[in-house]
Structure 1
């Protein structure tokens, strides 16, 4: 009578019920999501840069600051947020 060995994944499943047998597929999906987030309408980009008198360095700093303050939003959301904040503060 031969005993079969239990594969190590069995114990991981018992210890951690959130076991995902295909982690490679999940890693491949993430870059596709980031490509979708980087598509920002050029109109909103031009509007923000015009509000900043063409200073792209300030534009980048404001977008980065918004990303730190409000993490997890889409790239387009950050551009609109910074633009609307500038317009509101100038009024």
Structure 2
């Protein structure tokens, strides 16, 4: 069907993108990349096209080109959590720990905001791999990578439990607590902590 669509309209970038995705799923990554190339010649400002070609490059073990495409996609759409997650996996494979952590954190932040808890957990799982590596920010300010920090956390059981649930990233917990305070004003700090813990465990089925 996509072949026919392209015979009728050789400038149909959506048909090239969708055919490329199918070719990639079938294992024809070279053909997929060729389709994405054609689509980008037609529409060079499509963030989804760069992300799709980045996925094909990653599957083809062409990691540097994958990073370039993911970065270009994020320049066009900086809120796409899936692209941060994909780029984080490439950085992890390349053992670029600082950038992997930064991208997993960016993905986790956005999945949290969207309340996509399944994908949020995937990002947290990525971060947990590096808990031993970066207790404080060691990233150069000139690198344009978001800072990672380990904030002070009160030493009571509820704080420790919540910190564990969010993979050691207290900024995410603070965001959830802030939402709970907005939804249920006038409660105690302990109540908000326990509410957030209960909600996370319920959503995860634990």
- TM-score norm. by structure 2 comes to 0.24
Q: Which residue of 1 aligns with 2:190?
A: 76
Root mean square deviation of aligned Cα: 1.4
Greater RCO between the two (CA within 8 Å, min separation 6)? 1
Q: Which residue of 2 aligns with 1:55?
A: 169
Deviation at 1:51, TM superposition (A): 0.5
Q: How many residues align?
A: 52
Matches of 2:192 and 2:183, distance apart in 1 = 10
Give yes or no for contact 1:41–1:76 (8 Å, CA) kept in 2: no
Call closer, same or farther: CA 1:41–1:80 in 2, change over 3 Å: farther
Q: Which residue of 2 aligns with 1:42?
A: 156
Give yes or no for contact 1:63–1:82 (8 Å, CA) kept in 2: yes
Deviation at 1:41, TM superposition (A): 7.1
Matches of 2:186 and 2:192, distance apart in 1 = 10
Runs of 4+ aligned residues of structure 1 deviating over 6 Å after TM superposition are: none
Deviations 1:24-80 (A, max 9, x none): xxxxxxxxxxxxxxxx87100000010000011001000011000000101100000
Deviations 1:3-39 (A, max 9, x none): xxxxxxxxxxxxxxxxxxxxxxxxxxxxxxxxxxxxx
Call closer, same or farther: CA 1:57–1:50 in 2, change over 3 Å: same
Q: Which runs of 5+ in 1 are unaligned?
A: 1-39
Matches of 1:43 and 1:55, distance apart in 2 = 16
Matches of 2:156 and 2:197, distance apart in 1 = 13
Matches of 1:81 and 1:55, distance apart in 2 = 18
- TM-score norm. by structure 1 comes to 0.55
